[in-house]
């Protein structure tokens, strides 16, 4: 069961080109297409109302999306606008359409009641529009795990020292001893972890010159159901980083978009923005490669976790102290699911 009345990331805007683009989200087969004239992106159920053929097998024509079987054409609202050899269009000739908004390089979709879709609730991520200060690259993986396992992964960063010991990790003791402040919010939570006087991990050292000891922060904002905004960095110790993080050092921003495909698969969209050597395209590329390696480590661990949970169940797992943010996150999701259920 997924939260329906929410904005999910459906795709990177650049993924939708001039051919129909199929993608299953929250268990629904969808087709995305771009209007040939206006460039507007629409999402329809990927099933023609005539004989049920996937519309993604068709083609984009000036009036909309043409079914590849008998040529009915549907516009971005899902209304049939043309039937070959027939002037009258039956009132029932329509397919379900889903509200879509393109903002900050992201295609957002609303899977629930269209009347409740309010674009002003979409998370703003202005860094995607600022290539001068935050040059970045995008990625998407299809992951063989429920999307919640990836959100869990981002809510408990003590895994860095174990899963990512060769990349972004660092010293296990420093991670466990990090000072962590969790602030619940209506739509999710915010947390910040400070690793003071800690040794810079390999990724940081490769990126910039740093002292032997740095003050390192990891700031995360979770917005239900599947968005996590991350600002991470480190500044030489002794420069009062806690009060002022806008000083020379290492700094990066990551956007994480986690969207269910099915109960046991999801899409992991992310971007990594270089906030330390903005004039150096190689630095942006190197950061991307490093994060890509690290996130594939996460993908590997959650896929193995999903396989084990699928075969044994999730009912007898134990919570430990490092689960505090994860527990808040799960509470938020359960509260939203229960509210939707009540109003249904």
Binding-site ranges for ligand FES (CB under 6 A): 48, 50-51, 53, 67, 69-72
Find the Cα–Cα–Cα–Cα dihedral 87, 93, 95, 101, rounded to 10°. 50
**Looking up tokens 């994860």, which residue turns up?**
326
| Residue 72, contacted partner among Fe ion, ligand FES, none, CB below 5-8 A by kind | ligand FES
CB of 163 to Fe ion, least distance (A): 5
- Helix (H), strand (E), coil (C) string for 96-155: CEECEEEECCEEEEECCCHHHCCHHHCCCCHHHHCCCCCCEEEEEEEECCCHHHHHHHHH
Q: Which is nearer to ligand FES, 93 or 174 (CB)?
A: 93
CB of 86 to ligand FES, least distance (A): 11
CB of 297 to Fe ion, least distance (A): 6
| Residue 77, contacted partner among Fe ion, ligand FES, none, CB below 5-8 A by kind | none
CB of 53 to ligand FES, least distance (A): 4
CB of 295 to Fe ion, least distance (A): 7
| Residue 67, contacted partner among ligand FES, Fe ion, none, CB below 5-8 A by kind | ligand FES
Residue nearest to Fe ion (CB): 298
| Residue 51, contacted partner among Fe ion, ligand FES, none, CB below 5-8 A by kind | ligand FES
Q: Which is nearer to ligand FES, 83 or 309 (CB)?
A: 83
**Looking up tokens 């992991």, which residue turns up?**
268
Report CA torsion sign: 282, 154, 230, 30.
Answer: positive
Q: Which is nearer to ligand FES, 82 or 137 (CB)?
A: 82
Q: Which tokens in the block code for residue 21?
A: 């683009």
* Angstrom distance (rounded) from CA 129 to CA 109: 20
CB of 10 to ligand FES, least distance (A): 23
* Angstrom distance (rounded) from CA 208 to CA 134: 16
Cα–Cα nearest to 76, from 98, 55, 101: 98
* Angstrom distance (rounded) from CA 254 to CA 157: 14
Q: Which is nearer to Fe ion, 160 or 241 (CB)?
A: 160
Q: Which is nearer to Fe ion, 99 or 233 (CB)?
A: 233
Task: Name residues contacting Fe ion, limited to 267-326 (CB under 5 A).
Answer: 298
CB of 96 to ligand FES, least distance (A): 15
| Residue 298, contacted partner among Fe ion, ligand FES, none, CB below 5-8 A by kind | Fe ion
* Angstrom distance (rounded) from CA 275 to CA 267: 26
* Angstrom distance (rounded) from CA 69 to CA 47: 11
Residues that bind Fe ion (CB under 5 A): 298
């Amino acid at each position: 069961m997924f939260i329906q009345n929410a904005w999910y990331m459906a795709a990177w805007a650049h993924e939708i080109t001039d051919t129909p683009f199929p993608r299953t989200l929250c268990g629904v087969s969808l087709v995305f297409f771009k209007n040939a004239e206006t460039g507007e992106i629409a999402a329809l159920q990927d099933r023609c109302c005539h004989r049920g053929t996937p519309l993604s097998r068709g083609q984009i024509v000036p009036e909309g999306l043409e079914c590849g079987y008998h040529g009915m054409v549907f516009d971005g609202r899902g209304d049939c606008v043309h039937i070959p050899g027939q002037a009258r269009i039956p009132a029932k000739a329509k397919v379900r359409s889903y509200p879509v908004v393109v903002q900050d390089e992201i295609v957002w979709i609303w899977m629930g009641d269209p009347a409740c879709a309010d674009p002003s609730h979409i998370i703003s991520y202005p860094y995607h529009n600022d290539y001068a200060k935050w040059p970045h690259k995008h990625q998407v993986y299809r992951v063989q795990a429920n999307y919640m396992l990836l959100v869990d992964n981002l809510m408990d960063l003590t895994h860095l020292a174990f899963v990512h010991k060769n990349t972004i990790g660092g010293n296990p003791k420093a991670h466990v001893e990090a000072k962590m402040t969790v602030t619940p919010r209506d739509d999710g939570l915010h947390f910040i972890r400070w690793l003071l006087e800690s040794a810079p991990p390999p990724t940081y050292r490769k990126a910039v010159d740093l002292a032997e000891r740095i003050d390192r922060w990891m700031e995360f904002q979770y917005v239900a159901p599947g968005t996590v905004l991350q600002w991470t960095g480190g500044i030489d110790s002794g420069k009062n980083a806690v009060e002022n993080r806008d000083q020379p050092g290492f700094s990066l921003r990551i956007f994480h978009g986690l969207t269910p495909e099915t109960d046991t698969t999801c899409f992991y969209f992310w971007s990594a923005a270089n906030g330390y050597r903005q004039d150096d395209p190689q630095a942006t590329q190197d950061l991307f490669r490093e994060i890509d390696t690290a996130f594939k480590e996460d993908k590997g661990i959650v896929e193995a976790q999903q396989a084990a949970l699928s075969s044994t169940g999730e009912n007898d797992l134990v919570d430990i102290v490092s689960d505090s943010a994860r527990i808040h996150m799960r509470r938020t999701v359960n509260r939203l699911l229960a509210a939707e259920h009540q109003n249904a």
